[in-house]
A and B are shown apart, each in its own frame.
Chain A
Amino acid sequence: MKIKQFAKSLVLSATVAAGPALAADDEVVIGVSAALSGSAAGTYAAPAEGLKLYLHLLNEAGGVNGKTVSLVIYDDQGDASRAASNAKRFLTQDDVQMIISVSTSATFAPIISQATRGKVPVLFAGSVCPAETMPPAKPLLYCSTGFSAVHDSIAMVDYLRDRESSDATVGFSAMGIPISRAGMEEAERLVLKADMKSAGVEIAPPGTADYTSFATKLIQNGADSVLSWAPWAVQIRFVDALRKQGWKGNAYVGHLAEAELEMMKMKDPNLFTLGTNVMLFEDSEATQTLVNAVKESGSNLHPESILDGWVGGIVVEGVLEQLGEDTSAEAINAVMSNIEIDTKGLRGGPIKWTDDNHFRETIYYRAYRWSDEKSAMEIARDWKAYEVE
């Protein structure tokens, strides 16, 4: 069943990924380094598919101002050495005008280093946003990904403070990777600053098979609510481990790619996700376009899981719209360093980059939960804007 879909996906790759030999003047060549296989593929393969799909449709529609996109996609398996080799190939063989990363943070350093040397802009679309994209941003590095450990933590704590009593004890769960730990340690700091109590930050090593003992510790430390920011599999297994021990408090998790589908299966009204992407149960034109595109492509992926890559495609389209005759990497970087991109209703507002902010000036968060009354997902709190400083 999936083999057929995989074959379809290969055909789709072939139509989008014309190699450099086919590149023409009206074609912008973009190199994509993505974790398409390996242990990180569960998080990154789907957004990479979303990016491919959006740009495939864009090309089919004639491109933007006569310019089409040629993607050169290499699998880096979330591995730094493979990413380094990919980045080198992009610059020395494929002559790309832009690089897109849809992979783990371990791959960032070699990609950034190669791209900086080649003066080619890098868009992180589906990868976590590196600190270099935040103010004061480094040149050439941009991020459109919906999630960010520290900003998500700020929004989650803010929402948690709205819902929980002022003397609540909050537990935190993270995965033993720097980005997740940083997010939860920041969240704990904010909770303590708000005079709430902390039940501690439980950090599970990568590859943990059973989260029960971590959950036990938080329960025994008196956690009234738990906040988690980690890869989706970790967040949700942690919530499972809490529920298995009869814990009934509110759990707040980051809204990542698989959230909607999982929450609809779990039907847990005390589980909240905070994130920047819309859920697809909202029947808007933007969500319908995305859902239909996935359906027509024959992919078996849940449309929600490709959303960050799809938004990456929207960003590429936005950049091409403002690009003049000059399609060099330098010209693309000049456009990217000062642009406002309409996210077409898939986020709470536009992605706006300035000279010193390549993350976004304002980030919008919405909370979702399962509603027993409606027997459907619902918006628990509508978009709230946070300035990025």
Chain B
Amino acid sequence: MQILANIVVLTSLYALVASGYVLVYKVSRVLNLAHGELMILGAYLLVATSAGIASDPLVAIALTAMFSIVVGLSVYLLLMRKMTGQPVLAAVLTTVALGILLRGAMVLIWGPQQLNVGAMISFDNASIALTDSVRVSTAALWLVVCTFLVYLGLLAFLHMSRWGMRMRASGQNALLAAQRGINLHTVYALAWTLSTFSGSLAGVLVTLDSRIDVNMAVIGLKAFPAALVGGLDSLPGALIGAGVIAALEVLLIHYVNPLLSDVVPFLVLIAILIVRPWGLYGTKEELNRV
């Protein structure tokens, strides 16, 4: 049962990160390869707010959420907006450059050493007994709850709200959407903002569960197979892809060889790209067009 709990927690982490990839890709067809760095930036924003503005953990987390929205919006307005209308490859390469820039800046500002953010904001990451034999940490439990709420919120937003429908329409046919009066820049800005917010949330929660250093951006890379296996333009697909990758990782660690846990998700990724390149739940037509 503990193994199952580990799978659920890891699925939640990968799914929360993968949702950021999906949101931006679904709407703008851009693969944001700086998503891991944006995720860790969210965690470092928590360090900054807790050290300089708010000592109360809840206030610090709330402020971090606000700042992450500002970061997402700024990334779009200052950088990605200029890429609108340019080849997708140019936009993807821009995100690679952004990732490298953010990584360097974070080392310069917060140093290369790992930080115990939980201790800094007096967050008690207590072990919680779910049953006699299953325990998870407080932050891990929050991670599961937040992922559930984020997915619920995003699905409701995309399917039931006016702006959500505009986002989906822009993703399906940007030209037609623009001709129907949808402001593409607003839609794209919204997608980048929501994506950065969900990534930052994942960054904050994973940091509270352990610690932070710049190398934690690797989580973004590990969540990428999850997004692609599920289908890059499908939120439910990302959730299922995350489940597949997390289950594989945990089971390999437990029953086969831990060193394989790093490799096999990418083998699955390659296999999916060969057999079903649009992912388990992605749209075939969309990927062909890309």
Residues in chain A within 8 A of chain B (CB atoms): 1-3, 6, 37, 39, 41-42, 45-46, 176, 202-205, 207-214, 216-217, 219-220, 232-233, 236-237, 240-241, 243-246, 258, 262, 265-266, 300-301, 305
Q: How far is the CB of B144 from chain A (nearest CB, A)?
A: 13
Cβ–Cβ < 8 Å partners of A6 in chain B: 108
Contact B13 A210 (CB under 8 A): yes
Contact A217 B254 (CB under 8 A): yes
Separation of A241 and B108 alpha carbons in the complex (Å): 29
Q: How far is the CB of A51 from chain B (nearest CB, A)?
A: 16
**Any chain A CB within 8 A of the CB of B183?**
no
Known interface pairs A207-B215, A236-B211, A245-B127; A212-B9 also in contact (CB < 8 Å): yes
Q: How far is the CB of B118 from chain A (nearest CB, A)?
A: 9
Closest to A1 in B: B109
Known interface pairs A3-B108, A41-B112; A244-B135 also in contact (CB < 8 Å): yes
Contact B206 A209 (CB under 8 A): yes
Q: How far is the CB of A234 from chain B (nearest CB, A)?
A: 10
Separation of A46 and B111 alpha carbons in the complex (Å): 10
Cβ–Cβ < 8 Å partners of A233 in chain B: 114, 211, 213, 215
Contact A216 B222 (CB under 8 A): no
- Give 17 pairs: A residue, B residue, CB < 8 Å, sorted on A: A37-B104, A39-B215, A45-B111, A46-B113, A176-B259, A208-B262, A209-B222, A210-B9, A210-B10, A210-B206, A216-B254, A240-B209, A245-B127, A246-B127, A265-B116, A266-B116, A301-B111
Please report which residues of chain B, range 11-47, place their CB below 8 angstroms from some CB of chain A when the two chains form the complex. Answer: 13
Residues in chain B within 8 A of chain A (CB atoms): 2-3, 6, 9-10, 13, 104, 107-114, 116, 119, 125, 127, 129, 135-137, 140, 206, 209-211, 213-216, 218-219, 222, 249-250, 253-254, 258-259, 261-262
Contact B112 A42 (CB under 8 A): yes
Which single member of A2, A37, A216, A240 contacts B3 (CB below 8 Å)? A216
Contact B254 A213 (CB under 8 A): yes
Closest to B134 in A: A245
Contact A2 B110 (CB under 8 A): yes
Q: How far is the CB of B128 from chain A (nearest CB, A)?
A: 9
Separation of A203 and B259 alpha carbons in the complex (Å): 7
Which single member of A2, A214, A236, A243 contacts B108 (CB below 8 Å)? A2
Which single member of A210, A214, A265 contacts B119 (CB below 8 Å)? A265
Contact B127 A243 (CB under 8 A): yes
Contact B262 A220 (CB under 8 A): no
Contact B113 A305 (CB under 8 A): yes
Cβ–Cβ < 8 Å partners of A3 in chain B: 108-109
Contact A207 B262 (CB under 8 A): yes
Cβ–Cβ < 8 Å partners of A305 in chain B: 113
Known pairs A210-B10, A233-B213. 20 more at Cβ < 8 A? A1-B109, A2-B110, A3-B109, A37-B104, A41-B107, A42-B112, A42-B113, A45-B112, A176-B258, A205-B259, A209-B13, A209-B222, A212-B10, A216-B6, A219-B2, A233-B114, A233-B211, A240-B210, A258-B114, A262-B116
Separation of A204 and B104 alpha carbons in the complex (Å): 26
Q: When A and B form their complex, which 5 residue pairs have the shortest distance between CB atoms, in order from nearest?
A: A41-B112, A205-B262, A244-B137, A265-B119, A42-B112
Separation of A176 and B6 alpha carbons in the complex (Å): 21
Q: How far is the CB of B104 from chain A (nearest CB, A)?
A: 8
Known interface pairs A205-B259, A208-B262, A212-B6; A2-B211 also in contact (CB < 8 Å): no
Known interface pairs A210-B13, A220-B2, A262-B116; A42-B213 also in contact (CB < 8 Å): yes
Known interface pairs A208-B262, A233-B211; A37-B112 also in contact (CB < 8 Å): yes
Cβ–Cβ < 8 Å partners of B140 in chain A: 212, 244
Separation of A301 and B127 alpha carbons in the complex (Å): 31
Contact B259 A213 (CB under 8 A): no
Separation of A353 and B9 alpha carbons in the complex (Å): 51
Closest to B48 in A: A1
Cβ–Cβ < 8 Å partners of A39 in chain B: 214-215
Contact B219 A209 (CB under 8 A): yes
Q: How far is the CB of A310 from chain B (nearest CB, A)?
A: 17
Residue among A37, A236, A245 facing the most chain B CB atoms (10 A cut-off): A245
Q: How far is the CB of B161 from chain A (nearest CB, A)?
A: 33
Separation of A208 and B259 alpha carbons in the complex (Å): 10
Cβ–Cβ < 8 Å partners of A265 in chain B: 116, 119
Separation of A237 and B259 alpha carbons in the complex (Å): 17
Contact B114 A42 (CB under 8 A): yes
Closest to A176 in B: B259
Separation of A237 and B139 alpha carbons in the complex (Å): 14
Contact A244 B127 (CB under 8 A): yes
Contact B216 A209 (CB under 8 A): yes
Separation of A39 and B215 alpha carbons in the complex (Å): 6
Contact B218 A246 (CB under 8 A): no
Q: How far is the CB of A151 from chain B (nearest CB, A)?
A: 25
Separation of A1 and B110 alpha carbons in the complex (Å): 9
Q: How far is the CB of A176 from chain B (nearest CB, A)?
A: 6
Q: How far is the CB of B126 from chain A (nearest CB, A)?
A: 9
Q: How far is the CB of B119 from chain A (nearest CB, A)?
A: 4
Separation of A46 and B253 alpha carbons in the complex (Å): 33
Closest to B218 in A: A207
Known interface pairs A3-B109, A207-B218, A209-B219; A246-B129 also in contact (CB < 8 Å): yes
Separation of A193 and B254 alpha carbons in the complex (Å): 26
Closest to B119 in A: A265
Q: How far is the CB of B227 from chain A (nearest CB, A)?
A: 16
Contact A213 B127 (CB under 8 A): no
Separation of A3 and B114 alpha carbons in the complex (Å): 18
Cβ–Cβ < 8 Å partners of B116 in chain A: 262, 265-266
Separation of A237 and B250 alpha carbons in the complex (Å): 17
Cβ–Cβ < 8 Å partners of B210 in chain A: 210-211, 237, 240-241
Q: How far is the CB of B203 from chain A (nearest CB, A)?
A: 11
